[in-house]
Amino acid sequence: MGDSTPGRRIAPAALLFASLLLLVGGSGAEAAQVGFSLGVIDFSRDNEAVELGVDVGFGRWRWGLVPHAGVHATADESYYGYFGVRRPFELGGSGAWLVAPSLAVSLYERGKGKELGGPLEFRSGIELLRRWRTGGTIGLGFYHLSNSSLYDLNPGTNSLLLRIQLPPKSAGGP
């Protein structure tokens, strides 16, 4: 892709947007939670690469939905920004274990990585998480990035990531 492609113009804006979201507090009684991830993208195919990510989740909306946004970059210079919702569900009665499916709209920049067909992609995933006493979590996430056949080419890609989410800041604190 050349410098005139939409992805090259959109991806830096998505990065800036997600960075600004990290500075925003949550809504209602819950504050924003910052998360980090490290893993591998396209792990089941021949284009695998290390993937790093940062995201922010905001206070719960209706039906327990949590809006979240993030940016991920790979060792092969691909990156994407996304905005969507996730829904954590407690497993068992203790609340220590969570499963969290998620859906998001994404803007993808290929870099030297896998051609996914175009800049507009959809990200779906599921996480299995262990909640810390302090409110943060650690766990594994599996995600699929695909354009849902919006473009002629739609190979999709999968990511397997270790996720760490920091405890939320108190709504009244720094």
Q: Which of the four pLDDT bands, split at 50, 70 and 90, describes residue 110?
A: very high
Share above pLDDT 90 across residues of the chain, in percent, rounded to a whole number: 64
- What is the distance between the alpha carbons of residues 106 and 75, in angstroms, rounded to a whole number? 19
Answer whether residue 117 shows pLDDT above 90.
yes
Predicted confidence at residue 173, as pLDDT, reads 40
Q: Which amino acid is at 53?
A: G
The whole-model pTM stands at: 0.80
Predicted confidence at residue 20, as pLDDT, reads 52
Computed over every residue of the chain, the mean pLDDT equals 84
Handedness of CA 63, 174, 99, 95 (dihedral sign): negative
Q: Which of the four pLDDT bands, split at 50, 70 and 90, describes residue 84?
A: very high
Q: Which of the four pLDDT bands, split at 50, 70 and 90, describes residue 19?
A: low
Q: Which of 122, 83, 125, 81 is nearest to 102 (CA)?
A: 125
Q: Which of the four pLDDT bands, split at 50, 70 and 90, describes residue 155?
A: very high
Strand pairing report for 137-146 and 120-131: antiparallel
Structural domains of the chain, with CATH: 6-165 (2.40.160.20)
Share above pLDDT 70 across residues of the chain, in percent, rounded to a whole number: 79
Handedness of CA 36, 39, 41, 44 (dihedral sign): negative
